[in-house]
Structure 1
């Protein structure tokens, strides 16, 4: 059985590789390399896959899942500049791919190990990524 929880957060970021010169960063990242940053309204989908507990009828109580996602991800990233405010991205480009991996790693530690975890992060309504730990 698979269950899903969707949350949203707003954050600014800049895609910039400090090992490259400005021309290379502009060529690779384009507008996403704006030195004054830019923002997105992210949609985060958290999927858990596992057996239904016969005593509760749940894979995991959705209220508990919601609380974990809000506490561990939303409070950490919402209305933040990911490059400047979040130590998780001090040495990691905050691309959608890396935000999804960081979110997965944070959540993996807080959720039951017997449940498979997958996160989907939508940066725009048309651009998203999915990560399951592989």
Structure 2
């Protein structure tokens, strides 16, 4: 049997973005509340009954959150332009050593209704 475990976190951050549409507002520093959810899949450990200890997963997510929360995303090393796609990839890369491995990263902004999902399943 394979189980999927998910955990969510959020962060508030500012950024700029070079765009052709809505260009003026995007070029100015502006901020959003971002939500992120990571999922991983694997077998349940018979000894613990868990796929992964959720406390461990929360610790790892907190380290990622600290790198993004209340930051100017333009200055976050390794992120690139602060798009939803790049945020998904940044989070996936930061957690790439988790076992079992990530299967999905989703980032969204409730305030404007945007979302991006990165599926990592083969």
TM (normalized to structure 2)?
0.86
**How many equivalent residue pairs?**
118
Tell me if the contact between 1:108 and 1:117 (Cα under 8 Å) persists in the aligned partners. no
Q: 1:34 to 1:118 in 2, by over 3 A?
A: same
Distance 1:32 1:7 in 2: 27
Partner of 1:99: 87
- Structure with greater strand percent: 2
- What pairs up with 1:9-28 in 2 under 5 angstroms? 9-16=11-18, 25=19, 27-28=20-21
TM-superposed deviation, 1:115: 2.9
**Residue equivalent to 1:63:** 55
TM-score (norm 1): 0.79
Question: What is the root-mean-square deviation in Å for CA atoms of aligned residues?
Answer: 1.8
1:101 and 1:133 in contact (8 A); partners too: no
| Greater helix content | 1
- Distance (Å, rounded) in 2 between the aligned partners of 1:15 and 1:122: 17
Q: What runs of 5+ residues in structure 1 fail to find an aligned partner? A: 17-24
Measure the CA separation in 2 of the matches of 1:39 and 1:75.
16
Contact 2:102 2:120 in 1 (8 A): no
